[in-house]
Chains A and B, each alone.
Chain A
Amino acid sequence: MSTLDALIELQDLDQFAEMFADPANVSRLRRLGYAVEKREGLERERERLVGSLERRWVVLYERSLARYGRGLTAVRARVCQGCFITLPTSAAPPPGEAMVHLCEGCARLLYWA
């Protein structure tokens, strides 16, 4: 698994956990017919994902998460969607590829595709 894929999965899992943190959301899902009882494995899944990443990425991700409420932020048209600074062309990934980047404006961890 690539670093970028692991970070995306970690962010998806954290967003899922955010949804489950509110009992109102849980009861809403239950009313729709979802089997909400299986969610105990959430912490274990997170530990496994964190364990698959190099420590430096985990530190950067957790720092972004703690500071901005989101571990990974998107880049659209070379603009960081967190602080809206325009990123240098030279740092852009090759066309059709994606990469992880550190925003020089706000130090957010960026998903640049």
Chain B
Amino acid sequence: MAIADLTSLPVLGIERVELRHKLRVSALTQLLTAASVRGIVRGSTALLESVQRLERLLPSALGKQVAVPQVRSIAVERPDVIVGRSLRGIEWDAPGGELVRLVVLVLTPAGMGVDSHLDRVQQYAHLVRQQRTRQRLIEGDDDTARAILTAAAEGR
């Protein structure tokens, strides 16, 4: 009885978010709201401003319809990622005007070092650079996406 109940519980932090809007700021707002609901961040107003500022200074569209925004902040409670997909595509100021369909927001607490933060950014940038993984995250069902993100979170 207990096993069946426990396995049906959602695993926090690895659920893919369906991005409904076409603008970058709306997508980031939705991702940070999801992070706030999951207890990954404390409040999201200042963090949204920070992520947008870092986007201006370091645009996060990496090509192939993927963006990996990142922030290291005191408002982040624990290291985690929030992944969102957009079936319509988001205007992300990407090279060539390409729309972004997969967003991986990397959140790192201020207490973690720069190297650890960059390791995490690199891990997820490499993950979504693999064509098969990227396609499965964009087009796969929720279970497929969850399996990929769980494996990534566990370093498999």
A binds B: yes
Chain A CB within 8 A of B58 CB: yes
Known: A34-B58, A98-B43. A12 touches B63 (CB 8 A): no
B47 near A33: Cβ-Cβ < 8 Å:
no
- State whether A113 and B62 are in contact (beta carbons under 8 Å apart), knowing that A9-B49, A41-B57, A74-B111 are contacts in the complex: no
Number of A-B contacts (CB under 8 A): 94
Q: Once the chains bind, are A5 and B111 in contact (CB under 8 Å)?
A: no
Task: For A85, list chain B residues within 8 Å (CB).
Answer: none
CB nearest to B93 among chain A residues: A35
Q: How far is the CA of A73 from the CA of B75 in the complex (A)?
A: 10
Cα distance A40–B74 in the bound complex, in angstroms: 24
Contact A45 B42, CB 8 Å, known A22-B114, A38-B59: no
Q: Is the CB of A113 within 8 A of B42?
A: yes
Tell me the complex Cα distance, A98–B43, Å.
Answer: 9
8 A Cβ contacts from A6-54 to B: 6, 8-9, 11-13, 15-16, 18-19, 22, 25, 28-29, 32-36, 38-39, 41-42, 45
Kindly list chain A residues whose C-beta atoms are within 8 Å of the C-beta of B95. 35
How far, in Å, is B102 (CB) from chain A's closest CB? 14
Closest-by-CB residue of B relative to A33 is: B62
Contact call B50/A32, Cβ cutoff below 8 A: no
Query: Provided the pairs A34-B58, A39-B58, A45-B57 are in contact, do residues A12 and B73 lie with their beta carbons within 8 angstroms?
Result: yes
Q: A8 with B118: in contact, given A38-B59, A113-B42 (CB under 8 Å)?
A: no
- List of B residues within 8 angstroms of A19 by Cβ: 72, 114, 117-118
Interface string of B51-75 (1 = CB under 8 A from A): 0011011111011000010011111
CB-CB under 8 A from B46, the residues of chain A are 4-6, 8-9, 12
Chain B residue contacts of A98, Cβ below 8 A: 42-43
Interface membership of A70, Cβ < 8 A: yes
A8 and B57 contact, CB distance less than 8 A: no
Tell me if B121 is interfacial: C-beta within 8 Å of chain A. Answer: yes
A-B CB contact pairs (8 Å), 17 listed: A5-B49, A8-B46, A11-B110, A12-B47, A12-B54, A12-B71, A13-B53, A19-B118, A32-B62, A33-B63, A34-B59, A35-B59, A38-B57, A38-B58, A42-B57, A70-B110, A113-B42
Q: Which residues of B contact A (CB under 8 A)?
A: 42-43, 45-47, 49-50, 53-54, 56-60, 62-63, 68, 71-75, 95, 110-111, 114, 117-118, 121-122, 125
